[in-house]
Structure 1
Amino acid sequence: MPKNERWGRPYPDTRDWSIYNERLVRRGEFYLSLDFIDQWDELLARMNAGKRGRPFQYPEPFIGWMACVHVFLQMPYRQMEGFVRKLATFIPALRAADYTTLFRRIQRLDLSLNVTPKILAEDVVIAVDSTGIKVTNRGEWMREKWKVRRGWIKVHAMIDVETNQVLGLEVTDESVQDDRMFVPLLDQVQQHCGEEHPVHRVLADGAYDRNELFTALEHRGFLAGIKTRADAATHSTGSAYRAECVRERIRWGGYRMWSWITTYGMRWKAEGAFSSIKRIFGEGVQATSREGMFREVRMKINCYNMLIAMVA
């Protein structure tokens, strides 16, 4: 059987591998990013100013760092107490916290998506997709034997294809369809990009081929890179912009040329980001409650964005 010929825009790998390798090595520095220690007392004074009741003993950056240790190393809270207690013997300015305090403070962290706009390009191209996260480590045999099914978590994200940053994030259960999260994600992307880094195009597969999504892109002035059905109507059946995109695909000579012009192949950057996140943080979650699972996923995505910004 003859080998299928690869088609589409070839990906030019122009990386300087010495620089790329150094960036990967620098990611290890993230585990010991302890700059907050020099500002410990100043941060606490700011947090406790005007506070009623028991004052804070640990600044917010320290709690955020411990949250990263929790998701990066998959370390339970009691082991985290021992970890920071031993670390404090080498760094006298660091004050150890008990596991109860760590748990309570981490649960109260602001988990808004952490984005670094300054590393974005002038015209941002977005790739949107979703992926599943396991909620249990039991294997296929256990599921087949005992007929146990707990479902999975669904992560909906919009990725900047230039920097691989996550610019929009929604975490749901598996019952939520991809297209329902498109507009909320788009709102987040606009908020994070602002006017200095306008969105140029949004790339998405056929799951997002909906009239209302094309209309949403048209109202915002974004070009659509959404794959439409092969038999899609060329006249307006709910979205004039979708019909225009279908006519353009036909006028350009079909799907291959359309994908070349719209750079649709760069949509793989979303799948690449999901792959990186799962390789670094694992394919499952440790939390057992629904809310805890969602929070853990958000912490992982925030830590991933911090890694991206650190080596950019």
Structure 2
Amino acid sequence: MVYGFFVVFMRKKRGGRWGKKYEDKRDWKEYNEELVRRGELYLSLDFLERWGEEVRKMNEGKRGRPFRFPEAFVEWMALLHVWFFMPFRQMEGFLRALSQHAPLEPADYTTLFKRIKGLKLDLSSTIVAGSDVVIAVDSTGIRVTNRGEWMREKWNNHRGWIKVHLSVDVESKQILGLEITNEEVGDADMFPSLLEQSKANSKGVIKVLADGAYDDRHAFNLLKKGGIESGIKTRSNASTKSHGSLYRAQCVRERQNLGYKEWSKKKGYGKRWGVEGVISVVKRIFGETVRAASIQGMYREMRTKLLAYNILLNMI
């Protein structure tokens, strides 16, 4: 505790990290207006214009009971479910009241549950692709219960976590790649998938920023193969021998020759905090827990929240 206080005191005395004073360059008037417009997006009824046409196409060649509700409507209800933490029975009541003011047919909660459960959530449809993208990669844990730590200790109840792995465009702050796993999956294991998704959802990735959890020879080999610059933080005592990755050895020598501070400036490593910012925003808007009971339900709920973040970001 004494050491932590000393570090904070010295940073304040120097004027910030590495002696730099923090400058708040945000346009607060514009930022406030973005938050106000976010409220308008929650009640966007654009799907009503395509209701009849979409249902007709969905039922072409279908055998059995026809669809009554278009996919766009179900997606909208799924977003309301995670935005407002609205249980399915309350969603039925919400639609019953809304149908008195808008030309839509209310759905019962069992239909909503089944249709939302069967949604094919596509990340690429929520992205405005950029070119020469720099991505930051990280992961975070999501609690699967709201039960407090005292209850966990008293009743020895450990329900674990689910783990969200993200790759984020450091400029636009869009999520370009995501994976959701259990808590036992390592960060480096998900790196290949995040990189491939990021390349598919952009017009070219030129650099990857990541912390020491991704200091893995396979990750460096993937970057070398794709002609992508590494901004992965290698361990301070890492060996300069190749050990299966010549590119990693080259990156280790570069950091040792420059020193961490100069290496960080050269690589723009500070922009890696863009992914930390996205994680913070998602947790503040949608919460730090999931409410679904099944594992697949938890994964689906968290994926919906992350896609909702992209939708909000690109519509504001």
Three-state SS of the structure 1 residue aligned to 2:99 is helix
Deviant stretches of 4+, over 2 Å? 8-17, 114-120
Aligned residue for 1:44?
55
**For residue 28 of structure 1, what is the aligned residue in structure 2?**
39
Distance 1:182 1:11, change over 3 A: farther
- After superposition, the Cα gap between the structure-2 partners of 1:12 and 1:215, relative to the gap in structure 1 and judged at 3 Å, is farther
Normalised by the length of structure 2, the TM-score is 0.92
User: Which residue type is aligned with residue 288 of structure 2?
Assistant: E
Equivalent residues of 1:70, 1:76 under 8 A apart: yes
RMSD between aligned alpha carbons?
1.6
Aligned counterparts of 2:135 and 2:277: Cα–Cα separation in 1 = 13
Tell me the alpha carbon deviations over residues 197-228 of structure 1, each in whole angstroms, 9 at most, x when there is no partner.
Answer: 21111000001111111001111111000001
- Asked if residue 285 in structure 1 is aligned to residue 287 in structure 2, the reply is no
List aligned pairs for 1:214-293, cutoff 5 A. Answer: 214-252=220-258, 254-293=259-298
Post-superposition shift, 1:237? Answer: 1.9
Q: Given that residues 211 and 232 in structure 2 are in contact (C-alpha distance below 8 angstroms), is that contact kept between their aligned partners in structure 1? A: yes
| 8 Å contact kept, 2:127–2:314 | no
TM superposition score normalised by structure 1:
0.94
2:292 pairs with 1:309: no
Aligned twin of 1:210: 216
Residue aligning to 2:157: 148
Letter in 2 for 1:284: T
Residues 128 and 314 of structure 2 are in contact (CA less than 8 Å); yes or no, is this contact kept in structure 1? no
| Structure with bigger RCO (C-alpha 8 Å, 6+ apart) | 1
Question: Which residue, 5, 10, 16 being the options, matches 1:3?
Answer: 10
Number of positions where the alignment pairs a residue of Structure 1 with one of Structure 2: 305
Moved more, 110-119 or 214-223: 110-119
Cα distance in 2 for residues equivalent to 1:8 and 1:41: 61
1:64 counterpart SS class: helix
1:32 deviates by 0.7
Distance in 2 between residues matched to 1:237 and 1:119, nearest whole Å: 36
Instruction: Pick the aligned partner of 2:128 from 90, 105, 118.
Output: 118
> Would you say the 8 A contact 2:142–2:289 is kept in 1?
yes
Counterpart check, 1:200 vs 2:197: no
Amino acid across the alignment from 1:142? M
1:117 is displaced (CA, Å) by: 4.4
Q: Which runs of 5+ in 1 are unaligned?
A: none
| Cα shift readout 1:26-60 (whole Å, capped 9, x = no counterpart) | 11112111101122111111111121111110100
2:196 paired residue among 187, 190, 205: 187
Match of 2:88 among 77, 100, 122: 77
Partner deviation per Cα, 1:101-146 (whole Å, 9 max, x = no partner) = 10110011002324544353x3211110000101011101101111
Q: What secondary structure is seen at the aligned counterpart in 1 of 2:128?
A: helix
Letter in 1 for 2:194: L
Give the secondary-structure state (helix, strand or coil) at the position aligned to 2:209: strand
In 2, distance between residues paired with 1:310 and 1:9?
A: 34
| Equivalent AA in structure 2 for residue 111 of structure 1 | L
Q: Could you list the runs of 5+ residues in structure 2 that have no partner in the other structure? A: 1-5
Offset, 1:21: 1.7
- Between the aligned partners of 1:96 and 1:3, the Cα distance in structure 2 is 60
Preserved contact between residue 143 and residue 149 of structure 1 (Cα < 8 Å): yes
1:148, distance to aligned residue in structure 2 (A): 0.8
- Further displaced range: 22-31 or 130-139: 22-31
Aligned-partner Cα distance in 2 for 1:109–1:185? 22
1:42-191 matches, cutoff 5 A:
42-91=53-102, 93-118=103-128, 120=130, 122-191=131-200
**Using the alignment, how far apart are the partners of 2:23 and 2:179 within structure 1?**
31
> Are the equivalent residues in 1 in contact too, given 2:236–2:256 (CA < 8 A)?
no
Counterpart AA for 1:307: L
Matched residue of 1:127: which SS?
A: strand
Question: Which residue of structure 2 aligns with residue 295 of structure 1?
Answer: 300
